[in-house]
Amino acid sequence: MATIEECRTALDKLSDNLAGAEGGVRSAAALNRSLSCHITDLDVTFTGRLENGRITVLDTHRGAPREKAEIRLAMSGDDLVAMVDGELNFAKAWASGRVKLEAGLRDMLRLRSLL
C-alpha cells in the first residue's frame, strides 16, 4: 500500500507532467479550479488548486474532503502512484470505477483530453 508521502510525491510528479505538457493537454490543464484528491485506502484528502497547468497542494487532512472542490478525485494510493508512473491507464481505471472523477460539465469536457 502506498504511503501518504508516496501519494504526495505522485501529485507533485503529476503537476510537473502537466506543466511540461504541450498542445491540447496543456490547454486542458490550464484551468483555475479548486481540487481535492481523496486517497480512499489511507482515508486522507489532499486539497489544493489546479492553476495554469500546475497542481498546488495546500492542505492534507484525514478523512473525506471537508469542502466540495470544483474538481474531485478519489482513488487508492496504489492507483494514484500507478497512474502517475504510467502503469495504469486513467481512462480504463475511471471507466471501471477504480478512479472517481467529479467536476462540472464544462470542466469534464475540457479535462477529457487529459484522459
pLDDT score for 113: 64
pLDDT of 3 reads 97
Q: Which of 93, 1, 83 is nearest to 44 (CA)?
A: 1
Contacts of 68 (CB under 8 A, 6+ apart): none
Per-residue model confidence as pLDDT tens for the chain (115 residues): 999 999 999 999 999 988 787 776 666 667 899 999 999 999 999 999 999 888 999 999 999 999 999 999 999 999 999 999 999 998 899 999 999 999 999 888 777 666 5
Distance in angstroms (rounded) separating the CA atoms of residues 14 and 101: 16
Phi, psi (5° rounding) for residue 108? Answer: -60, -40
Contacting residues for 67 by C-beta, under 8 A, at least 6 apart: 34, 36, 47
pLDDT score, position 26: 65
Whether residue 37 contacts residue 45, with contact meaning beta carbons closer than 8 Å, is answered with yes
Q: Which residue has the cell 498546488?
A: 56
Amino acid at 29: A
- Name 51's bridge partners: 32, 54
pTM of the model: 0.91
Q: Which residues pair with 49 in a beta bridge?
A: 34, 56
Residue 114 has a pLDDT of: 63
